Structure 1
Amino acid sequence: MRSKSFSLGLLSLVLFTVCALLAYKYSFNKSLVIDPSSDYKFTVITDASQGGQTTAQLKKTKRAFELSCDIKKAYAWPFCELAVELTEPGQGLDLSTYDTVAIRARFEGEGSQRIRFYVRNSHPDYTKPSNDATLKVNEVEYAPNMYASEVVIPLDNFQVSGWWIDENNVPLEHFATDFSNVPLIEVATGGHVAEGKIKIIVEEIRFDGKMIPETHFLTFIIFIWVLVAISFLLNDVRLARNDLVKTRKQAQELESLTETLKLESKKFEQMAKRDPLTGARNRAGIRDYLFEQVQQVYLNKMPLSIIFMDIDHFKTVNDTHGHETGDEVLKVFARLVTNNTRQSDSLVRWGGEEFLLVCSNTDSEQAEALAENIRAAIEVAEWPLELDVTCSFGVTQMGQEGTSQFIARADEALYKAKSTGRNKVVTF
């Protein structure tokens, strides 16, 4: 059964891959066409700007551009060219997503019948505003009359002109071709154009590419194969695991039951040591911890302090606003205290609105400062129904005494805080 499923899955994957490759080859195409019907700006440039005497005229018909030039040798490198402005000044088209450029052109005239095709790229590292001469010259030179119709040139066949690099002192990192921001393309005479009258006829320039880059598409196909392989592997693992489960079912059920009982026992143990409303420890939950901290006082001479806290006028809150509001106040209070204490401190709900904070390795001065911080935080906190809630604090550090006497002194300090005005910290 597994072998049949694997064969069927592999066959489906192969068919999917073949169909995807065929679909990619014959679809997902995009083109940028430049012909006489295009709404671009077409201009003529000659060597006159360099002191030459070449003249040129551009004629646009329904089928082609006709660039007629009278080449004069008054300049060392005479030329004429057709320039196509693809965008407004300061902008450019990203042609790097295209793979080839197809040019349908021919040359009429004597001498060398070669033309140059320039793709000019703009980049802030080398291009100066309003100076087209600083646009990078990605170029290719060929003889158009050698081809019956159009010639298809991969963009990888372009190279950056050496004279442009020399004239603009371009750094090494920009020697490579770049088609990412192209405002201008040009069709020009070749490097050894003969003197006299020539004509360059351009019917169409077309950039072709894929809407999805080939590397991305192939990566997607590989990803599908890897995903399917992982799926088969996981399925085999799942089936093997199911077989193992069947052979050990009784043992695992017993183990699972035992583990569940342990977790439930631990859960009930934790519940027995926690106050269900506030999440703070209860008296049972603090007993063992407090015993350990008292041992540290006697054995290692580590200071231990406790802070007794009582919410002021809490009975009035319950009587006036109900016990649900009172419960919300208790929960906010516990959360607020926890957020303003250290990880080593332990909060206990002692009873009603009374709480006890056990502060290990803390002397009375440190505990008093901590209590004052908590008191200030409570005073400015936001409370249910916009109530004004304050709290009184009794602080004490353990001395040579028993645990009961230790807690009783903190309780006495709390009583003094409440009897002398509340919302204060008293230390004994």
Structure 2
Amino acid sequence: MKFVNKYLLLVALIVITLLLLFVHNKGFYKVLNIPLDNNERILGLSDASVGGDSMMKVSTNAEGTSFNCNIVNKFQWPFCQLQIYMIPFNEQDKNSLQHGFDISEYDELFVDIKYQGPKPELLRLHIRNYNPAYTNLEVDSNSMKINEFKIEANAYKTKQFINLKDFYVVPWWGSERNLPTELKLREFSNVPLIEVLTTDHVQEGELTVNINEISFRRLYISNENLLFTIIAMWLAAAAGYLILQLHNYRSNLKQARLSNNRLIEIMDALKLEKAQIEEMSKRDTLTGLRNRSGLSLHFTQCATDLLEQNTPFSIVFIDIDFFKNINDLYGHNRGDDILVTFAQIIHSNIRIADKLGRWGGEEFILICTNSTLNQANSIAEKLCRIIQQHLFGSDLQVTASFGVAEMYPDESVKDFIERADKALYKAKAEGRNQVQVSV
């Protein structure tokens, strides 16, 4: 029961962590979408209203709103402007705009806007704020505060993220009004209107702007808090687990003191078993020779002797020729017998100081300690003849190919082995049953 509970708690912890990471990646947001398909709340305005000749046409559909504008440089600052009212707007009752949305609780603005027209591909976003402290539309039609951000309409393949902190109050709006400093700062407490308009120095010509989405988002839980929660949760779980383990260890220690002698015997047996397992892990189970792991210590020692004492160090790669054919013709049992016999022949004809190992399959490696390339080559030639002359059983003659290399002082073990391996492949490529050296 304790086992089940412990792992059920671990699974629950992992699931909760994955859910929190998913939330961290996708976000957990409150979203305010601005409707873009309501003709009654979307108006177009151009400099034609102040004596210019620029013309503007607005259209809406289920996908959003677009406007087409023909900029004519007659007015000093030609413009086209789309006004998106967030509340029902009665032009005869301008005071209706005082009941806008408080978006100060939101962190981000997402816009999906595409632009076609003269360069540069820049637009301005205005978030207009109504505040009775400075707004009087009957006297000043421009008295709603202008929070502005300039966007590159086509800079993003999908919608563009804008932090509301990046908006700023346009300087001329504040300079024209005698307001205290705190009222000249950006403000989003009562927003009835959002505007999309051309830049100050828009080029003459025709342009089209498609607005597919405008929405505000607030992150319920910050990414930092989510990560802190995950870390705190795991630390608390680890602390609880450690406390539980400490309690268990104390209980076990009391039991261990009662059977100390038995514990010592068990520890000795475990040490012996560990030593046996380690030795077995370094041996090839079929031939009894060292495997790659068992040879690694000898490689290291020989490489160290080469660097520190200038003791030469060579290796010989040995591969039984056409071993696959032997397995196919005589079966794998006979093939295993040949591998064992092959290993015994090689082992009985090398020096005591040399180390023979099975590299894998029908491939063997001989570490020739304190041996130059010529000395190792002589050993390989001798072994090649011995193998060729030996009959494996009463009817089978086996040959082998040999690749020899001597390690350079500035060479890595990996490169050293690769050179010997290439020499072996050269011996096989040039007819097998021969020795090739890498110089």
TM-score (norm 2): 0.44
